[in-house]
């Protein structure tokens, strides 16, 4: 579910610690976080700002800053060094280091230009660092027993330099999971029965999951802000916060929306100090004001500050107020509607979205934005001169129709998923998306449709009131990934239109895409369909992957293939595979039968 981290974080505080006279000093920060957390966050900061530096350099810089912070927290809090802004202290530390390539230009600038220069370098470092590899079990356990602290520090360093924009407390919480995995999998030396390799295989996904999920959510939010602007992001946050905190007053929610959007500006800009400070203050504010926000976050607020965010993100939406009327007919029936719309358009639309969202936790935020757009279009039409007297009354019928259509699409998809299961459901998606986006590689098509299949397994088992938010919010993440892929390397005009025209209509738009008419089908070259004895593997997952690659190539060769033709080709392939895998010389059989199958299929597809 895309309850982006900002959902948890609503605040009525200054926009940035740099906009206020009251700034947190390094000594105060040290006292708040305690030494271990402070040093770990310093390590994250230096690894994110200097991803090309060595582990040793990052450790040295983190230790230097921690020593200063310790001194400032104890006795020297009024010395000039201790009163410097935090970002300046961090950048000064980097600029004082010798043998750090590529930073001399930035270090020659004055603040705030120096900070902006570092952020530009940070942006360009994405993809520069190789991914963190899961360690060899024996070597990892030996290292863990001999070098306990350096190993944890090395993990923080590696994850940070791979993810220069990831929120520091997320990295620290992942480091804690890594520590737990090492303790669990390495066990005691006297327990030979424990299979460390198998343990790492099972536990490693749990360690990297929050990095992937938080990184994806953050990139997704920043993608919305960059492509559709602040107004769209604010509308999305308004819907999400109203659903999460239905008891909060409209004035509170709109103030929170503005603050959250501003916080994302800092986070998406890559200014981690500003981003982290804002989020921490937001969490403090939320927990200090539970009474007017939510009754569901009490346990979260009892956790240490660094663990609160994830807990509040995953907390259930609060119960609706008991006296909340089920309908919002006053937005259609009141006589002064057109006057209010003319005088304060955005405020009126925001109030409608707030009132509708807090009443409907069973709808996805994207659907709520579509409903709000429909309401805006209705008022534009019905408030013009000469509009029929009962013009607004048709709004309810159109609303019911949209809700029915959205719920029907989700229900149909879940019915197919339940009937076919993971593999065959993914094949249906591959058939559809290869026709819509044949320019994507086989690996991309398999990855995106696999993600969609996972959404089916996760959401289709839920009750009706949770299905839509689960399905559409998760789909929105995948479509966001496809659209970011399109920005890097354009796919086709249809995808371009869906990714650019409207955020809330992105999912229905992609659903309506059909065959890309401008696509030139693949030529039938000898290597397009190569049949080898590895098709006889007993590894089901490996076999399915090979068959899916062939399915994609088949559709790229014949985009207008009918279901009947596909069934015939699939049956012929299955028959050939069974026959050849039963022979002693499998490769010779495939070399003989493969070209024959291609000839028969070509004739069949030409019909």
**234 close to 258: Cβ distance less than 8 angstroms:** yes
Q: What is the DSSP string of 222-281?
A: HHHHHHHHHHHHHHHHHHHHHHH-TTS-HHHHHHHHHHHHHHHHHHHHT-HHHHHHHHHH
The answer on whether 476 is annotated among ligand-binding residues is no
User: Would you tell me the crossing angle of helices 365-382 and 464-488 to the nearest 10 degrees?
Assistant: 80
Residue with the two structure tokens 């659209």: 483
Is 560 exposed, middle or buried, given 0-12, 13-18 or 19+ CB atoms closer than 10 A?
A: exposed
3-class SS of residue 213? helix
Is 106 exposed, middle or buried, given 0-12, 13-18 or 19+ CB atoms closer than 10 A?
A: buried
3-class SS of residue 47? helix
3-class SS of residue 517? coil
How far apart CA 358 and CA 374 sit, in angstroms, is 18
Q: H helices of 360-393, where? A: 365-382
Q: 451-463 as b/e, with b when 16 or more CB fall inside 10 Å? A: bbbebbeebbeee
**572 close to 600: Cβ distance less than 8 angstroms:** yes
CA atoms within 13 A on the CB side of 438: 20
For the CA atoms of the chain, what is the radius of gyration?
Answer: 28
User: Would you tell me the crossing angle of helices 55-74 and 26-33 to the nearest 10 degrees?
Assistant: 100
Tokens read off for 33: 């976080």
How far apart CA 263 and CA 68 sit, in angstroms, is 28
Residue among 161, 148, 142, 147 at smallest CA distance from 55: 161
How far apart CA 150 and CA 156 sit, in angstroms, is 10
How far apart CA 587 and CA 165 sit, in angstroms, is 49
How far apart CA 255 and CA 247 sit, in angstroms, is 15
Whole-angstrom CA distances from 96 to 39, 43, 69, 333, 455 are 19, 16, 17, 67, 49
The span from the first CA to the last CA of the chain, in angstroms, equals 46
| Binding site, annotated residues | 271
| Binding site, annotated residues for Zn(2+) | 271
């Amino acid at each position: 579910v895309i309850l982006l981290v900002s959902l948890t974080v609503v605040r009525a505080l200054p926009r940035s610690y740099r906009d206020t006279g009251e700034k947190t000093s390094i000594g105060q920060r040290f006292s708040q976080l305690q030494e271990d957390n402070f040093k770990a966050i310093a390590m994250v900061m230096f690894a994110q700002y200097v991803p090309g530096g060595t582990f040793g350099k990052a450790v040295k810089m983190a230790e230097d800053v921690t020593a200063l912070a310790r001194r400032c927290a104890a006795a020297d809090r009024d010395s000039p060094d201790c009163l410097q802004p935090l970002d300046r202290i961090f950048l000064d530390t980097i600029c004082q280091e010798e043998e750090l390539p590529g930073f001399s230009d930035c270090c020659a600038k004055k603040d705030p230009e120096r900070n902006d220069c570092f952020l530009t370098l940070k942006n360009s470092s994405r993809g520069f660092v190789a991914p963190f590899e899961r360690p060899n079990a024996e070597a990892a356990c030996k290292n863990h027993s001999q070098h306990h602290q350096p190993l944890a520090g090395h993990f923080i360093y590696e994850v940070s330099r791979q993810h220069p924009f990831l929120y520091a407390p997320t990295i620290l919480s992942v480091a804690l999971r890594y520590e737990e995995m090492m303790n669990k999998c390495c066990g005691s030396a006297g327990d030979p029965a424990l299979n460390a390799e198998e343990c790492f295989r099972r536990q490693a996904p749990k360690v990297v999951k929050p990095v992937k999920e938080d990184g994806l959510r953050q990139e997704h939010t920043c993608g919305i802000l960059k492509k559709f602007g602040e107004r769209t992001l604010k509308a999305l946050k308004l819907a999400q916060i109203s659903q999460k905190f239905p008891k909060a007053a409209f004035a509170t929610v709109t103030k929170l929306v503005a603050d959250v959007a501003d916080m994302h500006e800092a986070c998406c800009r890559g200014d981690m100090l500003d981003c982290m400070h804002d989020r921490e203050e937001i969490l403090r504010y939320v927990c200090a004001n539970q009474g007017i926000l939510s009754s569901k976050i009490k346990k979260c607020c009892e956790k240490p500050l660094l663990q609160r965010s994830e807990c509040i993100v995953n907390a259930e939406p609060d119960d609706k107020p008991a006296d909340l009327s089920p309908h919002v007919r006053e937005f259609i029936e009141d006589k002064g509607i057109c006057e209010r719309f003319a005088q304060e358009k955005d405020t009126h639309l925001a109030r409608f979205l707030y009132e509708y969202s807090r009443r409907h936790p069973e709808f996805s935020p994207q659907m709520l934005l579509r409903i709000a757009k429909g309401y805006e279009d209705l008022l534009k039409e019905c408030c013009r001169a000469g509009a029929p007297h009962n013009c607004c009354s048709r709004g309810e019928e159109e609303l019911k129709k949209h809700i029915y259509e959205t719920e029907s699409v989700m229900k149909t998809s879940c019915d197919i998923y339940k009937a076919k299961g993971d593999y065959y459901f993914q094949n249906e998606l591959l058939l559809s998306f290869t026709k819509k986006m044949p320019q994507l590689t086989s690996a991309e098509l398999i990855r995106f449709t696999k993600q969609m299949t996972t959404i089916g397994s996760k959401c289709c088992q839920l009750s009706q009131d949770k299905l839509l938010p689960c399905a559409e919010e998760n789909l929105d993440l995948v479509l966001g990934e496809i659209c970011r892929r399109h920005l890097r390397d354009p796919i086709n005009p249809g995808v371009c239109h869906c990714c650019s025209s409207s955020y809330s209509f992105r999912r229905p738009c992609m659903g309506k895409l059909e065959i890309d008419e401008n696509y030139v089908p693949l030529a039938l070259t000898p290597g397009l369909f190569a049949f080898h004895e590895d098709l006889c593997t007993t590894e089901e997952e490996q076999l399915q992957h090979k068959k899916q690659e062939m399915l994609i190539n088949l559709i790229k060769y014949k985009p207008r293939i009918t279901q009947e033709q596909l069934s015939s080709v699939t049956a012929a392939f299955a028959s050939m595979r069974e026959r050849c895998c039963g022979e002693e010389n499998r490769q010779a059989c495939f070399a003989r039968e493969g070209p024959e199958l291609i000839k028969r299929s070509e004739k069949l597809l030409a019909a």
